[in-house]
Structure 1
Amino acid sequence: MKAIILAGGIGTRLWPLSRTNFPKQFIKLKNMDKSFFQLTFERCLNLTTVETIFIVTTSRYKFLILNQIKEIGYCLNEKQILIEPTGKNTLPAICYGVKEIRKLGEDIIAVFPSDHLINNLQEFTRSINQGKQLTDKYIITYGVKPYKPDTGYGYIKPKASLITGYQVDEFIEKPDLQAALDYINKGYFWNSGIFMFRSDIFMEEVRQCNQEVYEAFEAGDINKVYQMTPSISVDKGIMEKSRRVAVIPLDIKWNDLGSFDNFYEEFIGDGEDNIGFGQEIAIDAQDNLLYADRDKVVALIGVDNLIVIDQENALLICKKNHSHRVREIVKKLSESHDPRADVHLTAYRPWGSYTILAEGASYKIKRITVLPGKKLSDQLHYHRSEHWIVVSGTAGVTVDDREYLLLNGESAFVKAGSRHRLVNPGAISLEVIEIQIGQYLEEDDIVRFEDDFGRC
């Protein structure tokens, strides 16, 4: 069996935690030591091997994925990361994974979103493996047994029983509250977005149900494929049309944290049902969600049913049951070209990350983290000088024709126009404070001469 992980989503409903450049699947919440993506990758390892996991994403997340996999102790061949030229929703993403896997031969494939929280790993693994019994005839979807009426999920109506699971009678869009309650009473399932199928059967159903997508994927070049294919979900494109769909129940606690309202089902609150992740104080306040990015005291008095998300450069305050509208905020920011729609103060790069600590009209201070063995590009800036101070680790520094090492507490100065490079030759992460001085400090003031990651 092989696995496909879908990891290209942006997660706009969890802004400002989730941003375009660092979306929710890669986030580690304060009470988590692994990201949602890392947890998904490890769940796949209970079903198959590292060599048979394929990840569909965009070029923006390629090195982030490689670094997060390495962080949990595994090494993935870059050929197993499939880069979409542009996002076209889940059906083209799955077809891309299937297209590449079929080059290795027909096989059973399981497909997983990268942003789910799942408990009871043993039961989850058992239920996923049950799907193999039906793959000769059916495309399998996995339905979560609902534990409450929820209007944020689609529902699956089962019909005739099979060896394991049921034939699918109907897929139903997100309902109103009364309809959701009726569906639970009738034994419907939540649509988890997890699938299993034989590669040949799946592509035959694509041919039968969505000729436009099928013909697009007959093209050889992936760029041409994505120019031709429509943007469509696998549910709309295949699952709602096919007569060969079965559902297997997942009787586990499952949450896709699709909005901040979903946090109330996953995390434990205080005596007044306030949910916090740090130094929160609530007086005469109930049913609130509080999340501060840093060690900041968040205090509430006399307010109920609020969601308060405090990040380094953005603050969200909204009422519960309104968090599905957060994407409207992202849309407004994007329309005004506000970078806070897309980036945190911490930005992730193939070599590590940097965090903006302070900035003004002619200066910017960053904390730079360079992973072991990684190099920044050989580069220069026309409009700014840089002063590097090593906080921990060992820095390999090249400035023009001079090469030397810097240890903890030592520093280097790079004047504007000097060719320079920063390298971590050690076995631990390198931490550097960088002070930029100049009249123009944006990231596009850069000329690269050599780069390990193919950037120009």
Structure 2
Amino acid sequence: MLIPLILSGGSGTRLWPISRRNLPKQFLSLAGSETLFQQTLRRAAALPDAAPPVVVASDDHRFLAAEQLQELGISGASILLEPVARNTAPAIAVGALQALKRDADALILVLPADHLIGDAEAFTDSVARARLLAEQGWLVTFGIRPDRAETGFGYIRRGSALEGDTFRVEQFVEKPRLEVAEQYLASGDYDWNSGMFLFRASRYLEELQQQAPAMLEAARTAFEKANTDLDFIRLDTEAFTAAPNDSIDYAVMEKTARAAVVPVGCGWSDIGSWDALWMAADKDADGNHFEGDVIALDTKGSLVRSHDRHLVATIGLDDVVVVTTPDATLVARRDSSQDVKKIVDQLKAAGRTEHDLHRVVRRPWGSYDSLESGDRFQVKRIVVKPGAALSLQMHHHRAEHWIVVKGVAEVTCDDKVFLLAENQSTYLPLGSRHRLRNPGKVPVELIEVQSGAYLGEDDIVRFDDVYGRT
């Protein structure tokens, strides 16, 4: 049995301001109508003998992962929730333990959730070649055939040939300087390290026992003490936090004597920067990629992306990135786009929220958009999905007005339950127990006006929540 193990815990800070901690790049539609996570799931599901996936996700992203799995009609997936980020080696360990619960002889195909692959046929062929080695006990990594000297990736030096265009791994190399990367490209002996792997779950755990026993012990304890919450498997926080924060390359692949590499040219990109997204995107005759409402004059080699109902105009620009969102705009040279992370670091240091939340915040029941705020007031646009409901809650410091603009809402306010149709409104006094539910088959949209001394999201006391939040 081949079990895809999808690692979806990344933060994607180099694609700010589109990608943020609460909605990172893997859950965004950056290259096509489906998100990168969904494209990864679909690619894995198309492989021969592929079982439902095991997904390792951050607790913060659990509902995003579940919803996007549901949108694809994928059932039977296991979603493991990391209480803290501990890099790839521990994440793969708990994924391997979950795979072994299904099949003691399971092969696991480790795939980052945020990669783009343009040639699905070449990818499928590479998995078939890797599978032959994995069935013989090899720990197989996929090496991307380089088409340029790239300093943003690690490299794999191929060793002696094995079978069918596969090789032993001679050496893993950290991200090189440009002149060294040019030497690697010229030699023809190196591939980019893709971060994708295939091996038996049991073999990985055997190697982890030899190379990093403390990590395996922490991962096993976190898995054995896990509890089930709705459709999620929550790893034990204390045990998982004790796991060393190491990558699979450092913990296992650089140390094992049984590492193999399968070179592949499959139109791969890790979408690790705006420049990488520009390289992977379709472009016009001037080398530009535009999304949204854009007018460009004398502009070449650029990526310009505007959000809804926002016009972006450029004049006389070459090789730039312009990205707008409702609350932030990025303007950068393409060759400096790796430095976006420095902006994110500055936002964190300043205690700002733009690195963390979008203006439109997604929740398991729908979303809200903070339209306006000032002294003692805030205005939000709230959208509730069909059949969904907010928690039964109260606030200590604010009252609320709800005005329905689309659909029919069911409102609970203390001991009263009633319906609000379009253009109807209600007042929720400070301290009242209230809930909003959508009993219909179309989304409910309403405008919420908050007023009070404190309007923070932490002023919520939940009495009942269908999503298990407290």
Normalised by the length of structure 2, the TM-score is: 0.91
> 2:106 — aligned with what?
107
> What code does the residue aligned with 1:384 have?
R
> 2:28 — aligned with what?
27
For 1:206 and 1:284, how far apart are their aligned partners in 2?
55
Of 298, 307, 320 in structure 1, the residue corresponding to residue 312 of structure 2 is 298
Secondary structure, aligned partner of 2:95: helix
Secondary structure, aligned partner of 1:340: coil
Q: Which segment is superposed worse, 446-455 or 408-417?
A: 408-417
Secondary structure, aligned partner of 2:370: strand
Does the 8 Å CA contact 1:66/1:76 hold for their aligned counterparts? no
Write out per-residue CA displacement over residues 59-104 of structure 1, whole angstroms, 9 at most, x where no aligned residue: 1011111112222333455xx1111121011111111111222233
Of 393, 409, 431 in structure 1, the residue corresponding to residue 445 of structure 2 is 431
For 1:345 and 1:394, how far apart are their aligned partners in 2?
25
For 2:293 and 2:366, how far apart are their aligned partners in 1?
28
Does the 8 Å CA contact 2:97/2:220 hold for their aligned counterparts? no
Write out per-residue CA displacement over residues 320-348 of structure 1, whole angstroms, 9 at most, x where no aligned residue: 22111111111121122211120010111
Q: Which segment is superposed worse, 284-293 or 393-402?
A: 284-293
Secondary structure, aligned partner of 2:368: strand
CA RMSD of aligned residues (A): 1.9
> What code does the residue aligned with 1:365 have?
V
> 2:85 — aligned with what?
87
1:167 matched to 2:168: yes
Secondary structure, aligned partner of 1:171: strand
Does the 8 Å CA contact 2:20/2:356 hold for their aligned counterparts? yes
How far the C-alpha of 1:228 sits from its partner, in A, is 2.4
Task: Call closer, same or farther: CA 1:433–1:260 in 2, change over 3 Å.
Answer: same
> 2:117 — aligned with what?
118
Secondary structure, aligned partner of 1:153: coil
Give the 5 Å matches for 1:405-444: 405-444=419-458
For 2:303 and 2:219, how far apart are their aligned partners in 1?
44
Write out per-residue CA displacement over residues 414-434 of structure 1, whole angstroms, 9 at most, x where no aligned residue: 222221111112223222222
Give the 5 Å matches for 1:12-161: 12-29=13-30, 32-47=32-47, 52-76=52-76, 80-104=78-102, 105-135=104-134, 136-161=136-161
> 1:225 — aligned with what?
239
For 2:141 and 2:456, how far apart are their aligned partners in 1?
47
Does the 8 Å CA contact 2:4/2:50 hold for their aligned counterparts? no
1:332 matched to 2:346: yes
Does the 8 Å CA contact 2:7/2:55 hold for their aligned counterparts? yes
Write out per-residue CA displacement over residues 152-202 of structure 1, whole angstroms, 9 at most, x where no aligned residue: 111111122222311111111112223223222322211111111011111
Of 408, 411, 415 in structure 2, the residue corresponding to residue 397 of structure 1 is 411
| Unpaired segments ≥5 residues, structure 2 | 226-235
Q: Which segment is superposed worse, 321-330 or 191-200?
A: 321-330
Secondary structure, aligned partner of 2:10: coil
Task: Call closer, same or farther: CA 1:137–1:50 in 2, change over 3 Å.
Answer: closer
> 1:191 — aligned with what?
193
How far the C-alpha of 1:21 sits from its partner, in A, is 0.7
Does the 8 Å CA contact 1:50/1:76 hold for their aligned counterparts? no
Secondary structure, aligned partner of 2:441: coil
Q: Which segment is superposed worse, 387-396 or 5-14?
A: 387-396
Task: Call closer, same or farther: CA 1:387–1:32 in 2, change over 3 Å.
Answer: farther
Q: Which segment is superposed worse, 134-143 or 300-309?
A: 300-309
> 1:356 — aligned with what?
370
For 2:218 and 2:118, how far apart are their aligned partners in 1?
38
> What code does the residue aligned with 1:55 have?
V
Count how many residue pairs are aligned between Structure 1 and Structure 2: 453
> What code does the residue aligned with 1:425 have?
P
How far the C-alpha of 1:378 sits from its partner, in A, is 0.3
Q: Which segment is superposed worse, 180-189 or 161-170?
A: 180-189
> What code does the residue aligned with 1:400 have?
D
Of 462, 467, 470 in structure 2, the residue corresponding to residue 448 of structure 1 is 462
For 1:328 and 1:118, how far apart are their aligned partners in 2?
28
Task: Call closer, same or farther: CA 1:51–1:247 in 2, change over 3 Å.
Answer: closer
Does the 8 Å CA contact 1:353/1:370 hold for their aligned counterparts? yes
Of 220, 231, 255 in structure 1, the residue corresponding to residue 269 of structure 2 is 255
> What code does the residue aligned with 1:410 have?
Q
Normalised by the length of structure 1, the TM-score is: 0.94
How far the C-alpha of 1:48 sits from its partner, in A, is 6.6
> 2:232 — aligned with what?
none
How far the C-alpha of 1:367 sits from its partner, in A, is 1.8
Does the 8 Å CA contact 1:6/1:55 hold for their aligned counterparts? yes
Secondary structure, aligned partner of 2:126: helix
Identity, % of aligned pairs?
40
Give the 5 Å matches for 1:211-222: 211-219=213-221, 220-221=224-225, 222=236
For 1:444 and 1:304, how far apart are their aligned partners in 2?
45
Does the 8 Å CA contact 1:10/1:18 hold for their aligned counterparts? yes
How far the C-alpha of 1:142 sits from its partner, in A, is 0.8
How far the C-alpha of 1:210 sits from its partner, in A, is 2.1
Does the 8 Å CA contact 1:3/1:48 hold for their aligned counterparts? no
| Unpaired segments ≥5 residues, structure 1 | none
How far the C-alpha of 1:35 sits from its partner, in A, is 0.8
How far the C-alpha of 1:118 sits from its partner, in A, is 1.1
Task: Call closer, same or farther: CA 1:286–1:280 in 2, change over 3 Å.
Answer: same
Task: Call closer, same or farther: CA 1:411–1:71 in 2, change over 3 Å.
Answer: farther
Does the 8 Å CA contact 2:395/2:432 hold for their aligned counterparts? yes
Does the 8 Å CA contact 1:288/1:305 hold for their aligned counterparts? yes
How far the C-alpha of 1:5 sits from its partner, in A, is 0.5
For 1:26 and 1:40, how far apart are their aligned partners in 2?
11
For 1:109 and 1:270, how far apart are their aligned partners in 2?
40
How far the C-alpha of 1:232 sits from its partner, in A, is 0.6
Q: Which segment is superposed worse, 106-115 or 413-422?
A: 413-422
For 1:129 and 1:434, how far apart are their aligned partners in 2?
54
> What code does the residue aligned with 1:206 have?
L
Does the 8 Å CA contact 2:3/2:50 hold for their aligned counterparts? no
